[in-house]
Structure 1
Amino acid sequence: MADILNLEKKLAEYKCDTNKAIRLKLVRFAEDLEDETTSFSPLYSHQVFGDEESVFGYKDLEIQLYYSTCSLTTFFNIKYSSKVIEKYDNVETDISCPGFKEYHERLQTFLIWFIETASFIDVDDDKWQFFLVFEKYLEDGSPRYATVGYMTVYNFYAYPDKMRPRIGQMLVLPPFQGEGHGARLLETVQRFYTADPSILDITAEEPSEDFVKLRDFVLAKLCEELHAFAPEKLKKGFSAEMIDEARRTWRINKHHSRRVYEILRLRVTNMSDPVQSSEYRLDVKRRLAVPFKKNKKEATRLSRLMPEDWLAQQAEMSVSQEQEYLEETYQSTVEQYRHILERLARV
């Protein structure tokens, strides 16, 4: 217990309050550069460093951001006394690896504590693949590998000669969460399967809301450099070229490439401009309205059996409900996209 407390105390020295670490300065004369009394701190830093307004990995961190008072030309510098050196490795394996079956039996016990609908998998099925993240550290000069997280993927057959991997489980252990391991793991898996020409696309089984956000970020990061997603093409709307290049390059299906398009188009849309804002809103809402169109087809079939006054009442309610749903869903969707774009800007 004492060793754990000492370790926690030591690690705490490398976590910094960014509101205190950032030193702003307006420079009039050369001697102001060395005058600490002219420095001041920001009130907020969450837009750059997240809600906790902190950064881990540096001891005695000082982020210097100086402006000349006239032209506001900037000088940027980072100082620290020491930093944490971390090494993480991603490993792909299957159940044939000696000792892995027993290791996985112990590893998957974490699922019941952190995933609400967790279930154990049949590891004897050779269609399962496993992707693991380890932290490499030294103990008495010898390398050790600490478990950080893992992902399971099942390789489904896709007619006539393709495979469609489906992500089954993904977990990053709590001590390592919030450090970007989930995004790196998902990107590793995406790149791993992209290299195989027999892969049609990559899906996920009953993805959680958090996983969808993570996937949106990773896929947008991968697609933002593709020619089909260039700013001038994003402004013209979702296209077959985007679907084709996203599928060929990253094995991304049409549904996911559409979300990537909406995220990246938001970045090149001036939402303060009424015309651009309206075009974007209508474009997104057209996709969101698709389920209502399907429901209306079913309602048309049912209408032959119902009285006219009931049908009129239902039609009025449906229009009102649809408009309310579309607006609420649109606003929440755009808010999610903004968070993803903020994260992309920090990469």
Structure 2
Amino acid sequence: MRPTCCIYNFAMCFALWPYVDILPGLSELNVRLLEQNPVIDVPLSNENEDLSMDAGSIYKTISKNIREFLLDFHQKYGTFIPLVKSDLLKHLTKKMHKDLKDYEMLILELTIEEMAKLVNTVPYFEVRYKKHTLAMEDLATLANENWLNDQVINMYGELIMDLWTESKVHFLNSFFHKQLIAKGYEGVKRWTKQVDLFSKHLLLVPIHLEVHWCLVTADFLKKKICLYDSQGIGLQKVAVNILKYLIKEAKEKKRTAFEEGWTVLLLEDIPHQTNENDCGVFVLEYSRCLALSEPLQFCQRDIPQIRKRIYKELCECKLHDNC
């Protein structure tokens, strides 16, 4: 008897596989696919019995390795939101020592099947790092085109600061600017009680404007303040707010060299978003690149992958060396 494999609508699978990398929460989608597409038994091979048995062995091995990979992945990240097709293929290739290019349709079918089984199997998932705690609802803001929340922004900022033992970059909490506007310098004076901002090279200030995120930076070596706005709105007043704060902070800390000589720039030649939802992701990627002194060489089409990378970095509590 020839071994068989179960496949779903062939055209649907063929169309879906190239886009696995940009389908956050694919497991939820797969439940619907399983319900809507009848299972069909199809022989794995039309050749002789020996080849069929070999195909059956490959089927079982691929199935086992996919199951193990997805189980570990789901336990590590809580969902399949950050799953990238290349992660799975790399794992299978390493395990089987075999080029699996001819088996991509089978791999997709088995992946969908196994992912559907694992939906909601993690009863509770959270990430803790220093004073930060991310629940699943926080991490879920990295799926699709959701707006990022303060918890994700602030923990990622903590990871950025921890890139260096000498701590030359400081990331202010996303609530800082709101508190500054509401209560003035006295309202945020204690926020830097244990931090000498003027000993840093770079200050990163995420600004939450109700329905939009932007970033203000202060380069203490060049005494330059820059506004990075992925929508190009040009709200220069938020940069001026940070300038006024730094001047008062310099007077308070008796750092007279920083009381004057600042320039404020609204940067235009930077990556811009082409939708209404990804401003928070742009702020984090601006921050990451600037902290690492890397050029801003990303664009809107890179954002789905950047969201997945950020999700993984948050769960692993460290930034990846390679993007």
> If the length of structure 2 is used for normalisation, what is the TM-score?
0.25
Greater fraction of residues in strand:
1
RCO higher in 1 or 2 (8 Å CA, sep ≥ 6)?
A: 2
> If the length of structure 1 is used for normalisation, what is the TM-score?
0.24
Greater Cα radius of gyration, structure 1 or 2: 1
